[in-house]
Amino acid sequence: MKPHALIIRTAGTNCDGELVHAFEMAGARTSLIHINRLIDHPQVLDQSDLIGFPGGFSYGDDISAGRIFANTLRHRLFHPLQNAVRRGVPMIGICNGFQVLVKLGLLPDPFQPTWIQSFTLADNLNGRFVDRWVQLHVNPSSRCIWTKDLDRIELPIAHGEGRLVAQSDHLVQQLRDNGQVALRYAADDNPNGSVDDIAGICDPTGLILGLMPHPERYMDATNHPQWTRRDKQPPPTGLVMLTNALNHIAGRSSTVTIS
């Protein structure tokens, strides 16, 4: 049976359909559920092999991006999510989903007895919403299962609050030392001023990834703005990332071939 990916949405989420389509393209069966229904039926989390937190503007980004969604998860679904972490369920938070995971305290360390927020995603340094493609480097020493076998990649971004900020330099160094920095913006292509050019981080196991770029928007070669000018089309980055997670679940030692 295909692995089951659960995508959680709420008011203001607007990338949920794309993430459903992306997981299905990678080979998963999917369920899209509103958080209110998940609160009423938390056992759905126990039946999921992967969990996705999509992008958008949850609750209009009132107060701050992802804050209300994160607080709802903390107060109503903390223990079911904690059980999913303990089961080793791969999770991905994209853009607003990343904002949710860091404000929930699930990233960077979900193994604390109570999740504590130590990072945030603040306003872009230029004070503007940025919508474009960016150059990224995959950290070769990262534990992240989602970015396995990737190196230099490109992905689109679309955010106004994407600047990763830490409570201290020590916390950033811990991410480096633990192999939890999954993705960095190219040195000359940091669109928001994130500390250490960080575009995505994972938890200590490498199973939970949060990132500002949108892998679900690059699932086919034709999604890339330069696709007609390329002699050779590389495998779409988003498809590789989601396939990596499915392969991890299947217990395979290598990714499937993507034509």
Helix (H) or strand (E) holding 136: strand 130-138
What is the H or E stretch that residue 101 is in? helix 96-104
pLDDT for 233: 84
pLDDT score at 258: 36
* All structural domains of the chain: 4-250 (3.40.50.880)
Q: What is the pLDDT of residue 254?
A: 38
Indicate which residues carry an active-site annotation.
Answer: 95, 214, 216
Q: For residue 241, give the nearest of 177, 158, 154, 163 by alpha carbon.
A: 154
Q: Distance between CA 65 and CA 35 in Å, rounded?
A: 17
d(CA 257, CA 201) in angstroms, rounded, equals 26
pLDDT at 234: 87
* Predicted local confidence at residue 256, as pLDDT: 37
What is the pLDDT tens value at each position of the chain, 259 positions in all?
Answer: 899 999 999 999 999 999 999 999 999 999 999 999 999 999 999 999 999 999 999 999 989 999 999 999 999 999 999 999 999 999 999 999 999 999 999 999 999 888 999 999 999 999 999 999 999 999 999 999 999 999 999 999 999 999 999 999 999 999 999 999 999 999 899 999 999 999 999 999 999 999 999 999 999 999 999 999 988 888 999 999 999 999 999 985 333 333 3
Q: What is the pLDDT of residue 35?
A: 98
- pLDDT, residue 253, reads 39
Cβ neighbors of 97 (< 8 A, separation 6 or more) are 52, 53, 54, 55, 66, 210
Q: What pLDDT is recorded for position 252?
A: 52
Give the pair of three-digit tokens for residue 242.
Answer: 């989601």
